[in-house]
Copies of this chain bind each other. A is one copy, B any other.
Amino acid sequence: MRALGLDRAAIASAGKLRHGQDEKERRPKAETPKGFRDYFGAEVSERAAMLATIAEVYHRYGFEALESSAVETVEALGKFLPDVDRPNAGVFAWQEDEGDGKAEGGGDWLALRYDLTAPLARVYAQHRNHLPTPYRRYAMGPVWRNEKPGPGRFRQFYQCDADTVGSASMAADAEICAMLADTLEAVGIARGDYIIRVNNRKVLNGVLEVMDLTEGVTRDAVMRTIDKFDKVGEAGVRELLGKGRLDASGAFIDGVGLSDDQAGPVLAFLTSRADDADRTLANLRAAVGASQAGLAGVDELEEIATLLQAQGYGPDRIVIDPSVVRGLGYYTGPVFEAELTFEILDDKGRPRQFGSVAGGGRYDDLVRRFTGQAVPATGISIGVDRLLAALREKGRVGGQEAGPVVVTVMDRKRMADYMAMAAELRQAGIRAEVYLGNPKNFGNQMKYADRRNAPLAVIEGEDERARGVVQVKDLILGARIAESATLEEWKERPAQVEVPRAELARRIREMLDGQG
């Protein structure tokens, strides 16, 4: 089978390559590339469990799994065009060799996907005749970014997306929001610990329209200023739209130079959120005035709010919030963002809101660039690693994974007996293993069991075997006693008990249950 010898050949043959060379000289560094990391044990299984839970919710909503290839042509990814000088700005890209092994010549440029949305566009365009329309699909897996890594920012990370392609109905957007709320609760975020905020790009377009800003530059300046609303607030935005503003450092930031009248609609837009959807919508209508685009956007928001209300998703879970501006530049209609509202301590020990764990919206250029036909689409992307980090903060997942019961080796000639014990335990559904290191030093075996976080260790020496018993060491209890030898309850429970060999599995099960 191709997936074998060749693989495992690698190490050996690489070793051979080096024979007769000065090994010290030639030794490779044992490191991940900059910005990449490895995941161990519970980090892996907890993520797998979360992805399975999310997939189950998506599936119940009628979404179909899709796993596209991790490698795409740069052409299909679309964001990056082949450029001999800078082929891989933002992505990891390389040029296909043409079989002659040389990268010169006309080989395709390939790249690792940087998200799960661009591949969806390619997949839908390629397979649309065999896919249902509308096409609801979910996808989960790693994506790669050729960016400067930062603390907690890696160049490979997981995303988990759900998109509906081929439906222009606001019902599709409402469904995505409802599904996102169900998903967050399914993975363990309590109601009240999250809020899904909904906005609409068309409303902002309407605002810009009534401001009568035709000139692109000024429009962009206004957009950039709106993006600062979270930081500088209403007053700050007012100044930045006008003459300018002294920032905290005392530096003066030039303003966009609008009159108060011109700036009015933007401020009305940014501050239009009220206690209930109806009043928020009324404020937005006022802000967009006579703009047809703007009014269409408000109508879309109203329709989404109505559909969600009818299913019982109130403003405690999903709220219309015009101050959601991030990403507005990219979308063509509704925009969603899910934030976790509980506070955590940042690296400097200061409390701050955990913040965004998911976002998305409606975008209509998804497939057009391949087929020439506009195809409406809307979707959401969950930042799985951030969501996991949040659950760890809340203690909902994490902590050390329970290790296996370790069967120690007192007599290496009796290995078969020890392996038979482990097999018995596994057949009883108990995680178990035999110590496979050098058994000479029993202390090392106990150190190993400790490092494996083993709850129990099984010991059978010559004497025990003669008497048909085994010793079972309670390592968790042992550790507790070592910590606080005074506590009576533990004094009473012995940290080591002798059990009949014939009752091994049953008695071990009892002890494990006793450990809770």
Say yes or no: A7-B365 contact (C-beta < 8 A), given A172-B436, A436-B134, A437-B133: no
Residues of B close to A175: CB separation below 8 A: 419, 434, 436
Other A-B contacts than A33-B110, A166-B437, 9 sampled, CB-CB below 8 A, are A5-B326, A5-B330, A8-B117, A16-B365, A23-B372, A28-B76, A71-B155, A85-B101, A310-B419
Q: Which residues of B have CB within 8 Å of A43? A: 65, 67
Q: Which B residues are in CB contact (< 8 Å) with A316?
A: none
Known contacts A64-B41, A437-B134; is-contact A361 B8 (Cβ 8 Å): yes
| Contact of B37 with A65 in the complex, beta carbons under 8 Å | no
Q: Knowing A1-B356, A4-B327 touch, does A40 contact B66 (C-beta < 8 A)?
A: yes
C-alpha gap A272/B53 in the complex (Å): 52
Given the complex, which residues of B lie within 8 Å of A361, measured CB to CB? 8
The listed residue (B11, B33, B73, B99) touching A369 by CB distance below 8 A is: B11
Which residues of B are found within 8 Å of A252, using beta-carbon distances?
none
How far does the alpha carbon of A24 sit from the alpha carbon of B452 in the complex, in Å? Answer: 61
Query: Chain A contact residues: over half helix, strand or loop, or mixed?
Result: mixed
Task: Indicate whether A467 reaches chain B with its CB closer than 8 angstroms.
Answer: no
Query: Known: A76-B28, A172-B436, A423-B311. Contact between A132 and B448, CB under 8 A?
Result: yes
A345 within 8 A of B: no
The segment out of A119-127, A239-247, A286-294 that lies at the interface is A119-127
Contacts known (A11-B365, A15-B365, A115-B10); A67 close to B44, Cβ less than 8 A:
yes
Stoichiometry, as copies per complex, reads 2
Q: A7-B117, A369-B27 are in contact. Are A12 and B331 (CB under 8 A)?
A: yes
Judged by a CB distance under 8 angstroms, whether A408 is at the interface is no
Q: Name the B residues within 8 Å of A16 (CB-CB).
A: 365
Interface size for chain A: under 10, 10 to 19, 20 to 34, or 35 or more residues?
35 or more
Known A40-B65, A360-B4, A436-B134; judge A88-B78 contact (CB<8 A): no
* Residues in chain B near residue A24, CB distance under 8 A: 372
CB of A148, distance to nearest CB on chain B (Å): 8
The answer to whether A451 has its CB under 8 Å from any CB of chain B is: yes
- Contact indicator B76/A29 (Cβ below 8 Å): yes
Q: Is the CB of B32 within 8 A of A72?
A: yes
A403 to chain B, nearest CB (A): 8
Stretch with Cβ within 8 A of B (4 or more), from A55-63, A208-216, A228-236, A500-508: A55-63
Interface string of A71-111 (1 = CB under 8 A from B): 11101111101000111110011101101011100001010
Q: Counting CB contacts under 8 A, is A174 at the interface?
A: yes
Q: Do the beta carbons of B169 and A13 come within 8 Å of each other?
A: no
Q: Give A112 Cβ to nearest chain B Cβ, in Å.
A: 8
